[in-house]
Structures are given as C-alpha cells and as structure tokens.
Amino acid sequence: MKCALVTGGSRGIGRAICLEMATAGYYILVNYRSGQEEAARTLDLIRGQGGDGELLPFDVGDRDQVQRQLTSWLERDPGRDIEVLVNNAGIKEDALLLWMEDTQWSSVIRTNLDSFYYVTRIVLNGMLLKKYGRIINVVSLAGLKGQAGQTNYSAAKAGVIGATKALAAEVGRHGITVNAVAPGFIRTDMTQGLNEKEMKVLIPVRRFGLPEEVAFAVGFLASPRASYITAEVLNINGGLYS
C-alpha cells in the first residue's frame, strides 16, 4: 500500500492536498494537532471521492509526539510505506520584531521549521530503503521575499527552503526528490483577515489563489513524471513575486 502523509491536513491547503493525493491513488494519512472534526471532514471527503485513509494526530513541533506516533504507525504494518511526505503544517504569530514575545518567535520556529526535521528524518528512512520517495515542503512567499511583521515566519520558511535544497543534494542518488511550493495569497483561514479587493491590485492575475491550485502543483511534484525535478521552489503567487 502506497501512502502519503500530509501534515496539517485538516483544512485549507492541507485538505486540498489530501484530496489531490487521494485522486492519485494514495492512502492518505491526515495529520492534525487539534480540530478533530475538521480532520474527520477531510477524511470523509477523501472517501467520498473513492479514496481512503486515516487520521494521524500529533503536534509536528513536538519531537516526542512525532517519534511516538509515526514510529508506532510504521511498526504496526511493515507492508505500508510512506511514499510521499508533504510538510504542510504551519502557524503564524505576527508582530514587529521590536515587540515580538519570545514565545511568538519560538512557537513559530518550532511548528514551521523544527517540524521539518522531526517528521522528515523518520519518514526518510523508509524512502531510503525503498530507493524512492517524494518530499514536498509547503513554504511561503514570506520565506523568499520577507514580510514586515513576520520576521519569525519568514525566518522559519526561509530555513525550510534552505533545508529543502540541502536534503535534495543528500538523497537525490537514492531516487528521492525534495522540493518546495511557495504560495502567495491563497484563500484560506490564514488570509481571512486580509482585504482581497484592496490587495489583489498588487497581483498581476488580480485575484487570490485557491487551495486546489497549490494542491495541483504538489500533486505534480509528487508524481513519477517529476523525477528529474529536485531542490526547486515553485512559486504559486499569481505573478506577485518570482
């Protein structure tokens, strides 16, 4: 059974990615930290379109939880392999650096950057044994361009971009690709407070993106057809920044 693990898969971009990967025939592991109801809704949608999967709750920024839950899942059935890993889970706690609290810095770094290390190192072992794997990291325009009021978030996402390129160099010869997608303004909970009507004039295509558009790009990078693409960051921002 080929499986895809999507962290932060309960809603928004994560949910769209779960549905896209299910369409490609993967058994989906829907990870979430809280919001079991939304995660269950994602699983219902997967099954409604003919796919299957299960919920796998843990806090991606908690090393012990990641180790315990992922290792336990892998040991339960050695016949199941995580062929695709999508590191999507993330949070924002915006503030100007001058007034940023220590907890705002540490929690954003932990959830957005440390999580890449905690989750990927466990999943990577199975990919190396099989000599095949796809790792896709959901980063952000903020990690490329930098955003005022998001020093913590920008630093975390820029860190994942650097890690993406370094890991790609390490594992490419083993049939594993490592890429990232960098969404701009996408219609999700994270952009609900933004005025799309005012901000879309900054975007060449004159609109915010849809979660499904990000998911399509992830699905392509996860496919065998993308086997010669690695260490790349694909911008999905309507031309706002490249």
Q: Is 118 marked active-site?
A: no
CB 177 within 8 A of CB 227: yes
Is domain 2-236 classified as CATH 3.40.50.720? yes
pLDDT of 195: 80
Domain ranges within the chain, ordered by starting residue: 2-236
Cα distances (Å, whole numbers) of residue 239 to 15, 39, 79, 136, 208: 24, 32, 43, 21, 11
Please tell me the predicted confidence (pLDDT) of residue 53. 98
Decide: helix, strand or coil at residue 53.
strand
Q: What is the pLDDT of residue 4?
A: 98
* CA dist., res. 194 & res. 127, Å (int): 39
| Coil/strand/helix, residue 134 | strand
pLDDT in tens, the chain (242 residues): 899 999 999 999 999 999 999 999 999 999 999 989 999 999 999 999 999 999 999 999 999 999 999 999 999 988 889 999 999 999 999 999 999 999 999 999 999 999 999 999 999 999 999 999 999 999 999 999 999 999 999 999 999 999 999 999 999 999 999 999 999 999 887 777 778 888 889 999 999 999 999 999 999 999 999 999 999 999 999 999 87
Helix (H, G, I), strand (E, B) or coil at 182: strand
Mark out the alpha helices in 110-239 (DSSP H runs).
Answer: 115-130, 141-145, 151-171, 196-199, 211-222
pLDDT of residue 191: 78
Task: Give me the catalytic one of 32, 153, 228, 241.
Answer: 153
pLDDT of residue 27: 98
Q: Looking at residue 148, what is its pLDDT?
A: 95
CA pair distance 168, 229, nearest whole angstrom: 10
Rounded Cα distance, 16 and 92, in Å: 20
pLDDT given for residue 77 in this prediction: 80
Rounded Cα distance between 63 and 70, Å, is 11
